[in-house]
Structure 1
Amino acid sequence: MMILNKETVPIFREQDVVPFRNRVKEYTIKIGMGILNQTKLITAASELVRNMLKYGGGGNASIEVVSEGKNQGIRLIFADKGPGIQDITLAMKDGYTTGKSLGLGLPGTRRLVNEFNIQSEVNKGTTVTIIKWKNG
């Protein structure tokens, strides 16, 4: 996989969320991603960026244009230095929440994208990486 373009955006306040979402949308338009896949990626990005703020105390979100063969996509990486996730298996179950939100949660987010990876270490932080392919 090749990285064609990369940008990192610090997310530490609620006011950082909308500009970040707008940047993601700009990247999807640049590679010619269809509206349905744009919507899925932006929805997933919104959920993950809000999780990073709420549970991880903020962090950095990277936007990358990636290519594999002729296919292009957007990879988003959300990295925080928060308390981490005690039980990733539990956190990935539908209906699981530690808050009072009706958010998509991690399982809903995973269904919106083509690739989803989560790594977390208690007291060290969490990194979630997602990819949405232009034609996927």
Structure 2
Amino acid sequence: MTTVTLAKSQDVAFARQAAMKAMGEIGASAVKRTKFVTAVSEIARNAVNYGRGGRITFEIVGLGANRRVIAQCSDRGPGIEDVDLALSDGYSTGKSLGLGLGGAKRLVDRFDITSSSSTGTIVTLECGQR
């Protein structure tokens, strides 16, 4: 398991590198690597810029052709009031959120999110080899 602390903007680059390395270790296709790294980048950037920092962990699970990477990002922010709205294509906070949560969700095989004012936001991304 690899953990990257997300406290400043350059930590997003470290999260991207860790995602790329993990996807390379499972033998993911170039397309899958790019999609996963892009999703991780968006989630990590949101944690740094809007979630008061946090951390992201990467774990490789499964065997053979069923190997996959699970990334879990947790932040210390105030939570997201309306998760369904934040996942929609038309969501805007008036700030530049880049691809955002909805875009990240479309790039991975599995996407889970929990968010509350007491625990912050936890996003889990999962992606396989193909």
Q: Specify if TM > 0.5.
A: yes
Match of 1:72 in 2: 67
Match of 2:29 in 1: 34
CA distance in 2, matches of 1:99, 1:77: 26
In the TM superposition, residue 100 of structure 1 has moved relative to its aligned partner by: 2.6
SS of the aligned residue for 2:96 comes to coil
In the TM superposition, residue 102 of structure 1 has moved relative to its aligned partner by: 5.8
Q: Deviations over 1:101-134 (max 9, x none)?
A: 2611111111100000000012430000010111
TM-score of the pair, normalised by structure 1: 0.89
- In structure 1, stretches of 5+ residues that fail to align are 1-5
Q: Would the aligned equivalents of 1:97 and 1:105 in 2 still touch at CA under 8 Å?
A: no
CA gap 1:70/1:7 in 2 versus in 1, 3 angstroms? same
**Could you say which structure has the higher strand fraction?**
1
TM-score of the pair, normalised by structure 2: 0.93
- In structure 2, stretches of 5+ residues that fail to align are none
SS of the aligned residue for 1:24 comes to helix
The number of aligned residues is 130
Q: How does 1:20-99 map to 2 (within 5 A)?
A: 20-67=15-62, 70-99=65-94
Mean Cα deviation higher: 37-46 or 67-76: 67-76
In the TM superposition, residue 69 of structure 1 has moved relative to its aligned partner by: 7.6
Mean Cα deviation higher: 65-74 or 110-119: 65-74
